Amino acid sequence: MAGDEFLKSIESNFQNAVRCLNATYEDDRLGEDLATKIMVANSTYVVRFGVRLRGQLFTFTGYRSVHSEHFEPVKGGIRFAPDVNQAEVEALAALMSYKCALVEVPFGGAKGGLIIDPREWSEMELERITRRFTQELAKRDLIHPSQNVPAPDVGTGEREMAWMADEYRRLHPAELNAWACVTGKPVGKGGISGRTEATGRGVEYALRAFFDHPRDVAKTGLTPGLKGKRVNVQGLGNVGYHAALFLSTEDGALITHVLERDGTVVDETGIDIRALRSHIMENGGVTGFPGHVASGMEMLEADADILIPAAMELVITADNAPNIKTPLIIEAANGPVSAEADAILRERGVVIIPDLYANAGGVTVSYFEWIKNLSRIRFGRMQRRAEETRFGALIEGIESMTGKPFPDELARRAVDGGTEIDLVRSGLEDTMRNSYRVISDVWNREEAAPDLRTAAMMVAVQRIAQSYQSLGI
C-alpha cells in the first residue's frame, strides 16, 4: 500500500539523518533507544462514526495521529481524500514534527485524515460530516487549543476549518481560546491574512533563499537567479497555484508546464497562471486551455529548470526518477519523492529542496494565526500608526536639513506602517531565509550530509532529541 511505502520512506530519511549525525558528532551520539522513540508515532486514533444522509446511515473512518509531543499543542493538517490510511497519516504526522523543529515553530507533530471523496458530497452534507468528525475528535481532545490544533491539507480549506472551529466552540462555549483550536480559518472567523497563500508563498521564499546561495546553485549547473527559469508545476491546487503565481509575477520565472489530472498545459513563453486557475475553476480541469495536451504523469519528465511537485506523495519513484530532466526539484507537496527515487536522483546530481523545509510556510503562518487567536489582537494594530508618525517625522527632518524633497516612492515605503499581511509575509520570509541558511551550512560544512534533505533532517532530529534530553527522557 502507498501509505506503507511513504512511512518507510520517511523512516529511511530519518535513519539516514541519525547515521549522519552520529558520524559527525561522535562524542555526542544519539542512542538507538532515543532515536526509536523519536521515530515512531506516539499514538494514532481511528474513529468510525455514522452520519444519516440521503435517507441512510453512512459510516465514515477518520484518523488523528500524534507523532511527537515534545512541544504542545501538536500541529498538522486534516486531509479529506478517498485513499487516506493509517500509515499515510503517521508518515505525515512525523513529517510535521520534523518540519516544525526545522523552522523553529514550537509545536509537536500530528496529522489527521478522513476517508472521503469530497466531490461526491454536497456542501451541506460535507458540513454535517465535518461537524460530526469534529465532535469525535473533541471528545478525545484530538482538537484542542492547547493540545492538538488541526489545519487544512489536501481536500480541506478555510471552509472546513470554519466548521470545525464553530463546532468546537459550540461544545466548549466558555473556552476563551476556542478559536485557536484550528488554524487556516477564514480571516473573518479568527483567521490571519496570508494563511491561504502561505505554503505557496513559502515555496517562493525557499527558492529565493536557495538562489541567494551561489555555491548551492552551482551544484545544479543552473545559471544564477530565478528570472527566466523554466518551471514545471505538478498540481495547481492551493499550494501549486500560489507558488506558480508568485514565481511568475514577482520573480520573473516562466511557468512552462502545469500538470493536472486531465492533462498538461505547455507554453514555453510562460503560462498565465491566473487565467489557467480561472479556467480550472470554471471547467473542472485544464482541458480546453490554450497549450493543453492530453498527457499523464510522464510530463514530470519534461525538460525544464525547476520541477515543483505540488500535489500528492510518491509521484517520483524508482520508475520515473531515472528520466527526470530538471536539475532542481522543490517539494511543495509532502513526500512527493520516494526514498528510492531520492537515492537515484542524488546519484544523478539532481538537487532536491526537501518538503520538511520547502512547504513549511503553511505551518509557520498557522503558528502566527494561533498566536493571534491567543492574544486576540491583529498583528500591527498597536504599532502601525505610531510607526507612521515616527517615520514621517524622520522624513520631514531629512527634508528640512537637506532642503530637498524625499523621493515619493521611498517615502511611501518608509511611512506605511506594516499591515497584518506585510508582517505575516516578513515573518515568513525571515523564517524561510534563516532556516535555509542553517540547512545549507550543514550541507556544505559537514562531510556527512550528502544532500539537503539529510541536512534538514539532521537539524530537525537534533533539535527534537535535545528537547527530549532536556526533559530527562
183 or 373: CB nearest ligand GLU: 183
* Cα(473)–Cα(468) distance, integer angstroms: 5
What is the DSSP code string of 74-94?
A: EEEEEEEETT--HHHHHHHHH
Name the amino acid, one letter, at 184: G
Count of chain residues binding ligand GLU (CB under 6 A):
11
- Positions in 327-346 near ligand GLU (CB under 6 A): 334
- Which of 330, 350, 312, 334 is CA-nearest to residue 207? 330
Q: Is 8 a catalytic residue?
A: no
What is the DSSP code string of 386-397?
A: HHHHHHHHHHHH
Which of 151, 161, 244, 350 binds ligand GLU (CB under 6 A)? It is 151
* Cα(4)–Cα(95) distance, integer angstroms: 14
317 or 334: CB nearest ligand GLU: 334
* Cα(343)–Cα(349) distance, integer angstroms: 10
* Cα(42)–Cα(7) distance, integer angstroms: 14
Query: Would you say 78 and 156 are in contact if contact means Cβ atoms under 8 Å apart?
Result: yes
Q: Which long-range contacts (CB under 8 A, 24 or more apart) does 49-57 make?
A: 49/132, 49/133, 49/135, 49/136, 51/128, 51/129, 51/132, 53/121, 53/125, 53/128, 53/129, 54/125
Helix (H) or strand (E) holding 352: strand 351-353
Which of 3, 108, 200, 362 binds ligand GLU (CB under 6 A)? It is 362
- Positions in 214-273 near ligand GLU (CB under 6 A): none
Binding window for ligand GLU (CB under 6 A); candidates: 21-29, 72-80, 137-145, 384-392: 72-80
Reduced 3-state DSSP string for 103-122: CCCCCEEEEEEEECCHHHCC
CB of 75 to ligand GLU, least distance (A): 4
Evaluate the omega torsion of the peptide bond into residue 73 and state whether it is cis, within 30 degrees of 0: yes
- Positions in 297-316 near ligand GLU (CB under 6 A): none
- Using rule CB under 6 A, residue 109 touches ligand GLU: no
Binding window for ligand GLU (CB under 6 A); candidates: 69-77, 163-171, 387-395, 448-456: 69-77
Compute φ and ψ for 342, nearest 5 degrees.
-60, -45
Helix (H) or strand (E) holding 398: helix 384-402
Which of 97, 193, 196, 366 binds ligand GLU (CB under 6 A)? It is 366
Radius of gyration of the chain (CA): 23
- Using rule CB under 6 A, residue 190 touches ligand GLU: no
- Using rule CB under 6 A, residue 363 touches ligand GLU: yes
330 or 363: CB nearest ligand GLU: 363
Binding window for ligand GLU (CB under 6 A); candidates: 31-39, 160-168, 244-252, 362-370: 362-370
Query: Would you say 305 and 224 are in contact if contact means Cβ atoms under 8 Å apart?
Result: no
CB of 355 to ligand GLU, least distance (A): 8
Q: Name the residue with the smallest CB distance to ligand GLU.
A: 77
Q: Identify any residues that bridge with 63 across adjacent strands, giving them in sequence order.
A: 46, 113
Binding window for ligand GLU (CB under 6 A); candidates: 31-39, 208-216, 250-258, 357-365: 357-365
Name the amino acid, one letter, at 3: G
Which of 3, 73, 76, 327 binds ligand GLU (CB under 6 A)? It is 76
CB of 103 to ligand GLU, least distance (A): 10
Q: Where do the H-state alpha helices sit in 103-227?
A: 123-139, 158-171, 195-211, 214-218
- Using rule CB under 6 A, residue 35 touches ligand GLU: no
75 or 201: CB nearest ligand GLU: 75
* Cα(144)–Cα(147) distance, integer angstroms: 5
Binding-site string for ligand GLU from residue 421 to residue 450, where x marks contact by CB under 6 A and - marks none: ------------------------------
- Which of 471, 464, 432 is CA-nearest to residue 30? 464
CB of 363 to ligand GLU, least distance (A): 4
CB of 11 to ligand GLU, least distance (A): 18
- Using rule CB under 6 A, residue 103 touches ligand GLU: no
**Of 8, 75, 99, 111, catalytic:** 111
Which of 75, 185, 208, 229 binds ligand GLU (CB under 6 A)? It is 75
Q: Which residues are tagged catalytic?
A: 111
The residues binding ligand GLU (CB under 6 A) are: 75-77, 151, 153, 183, 334, 359, 362-363, 366
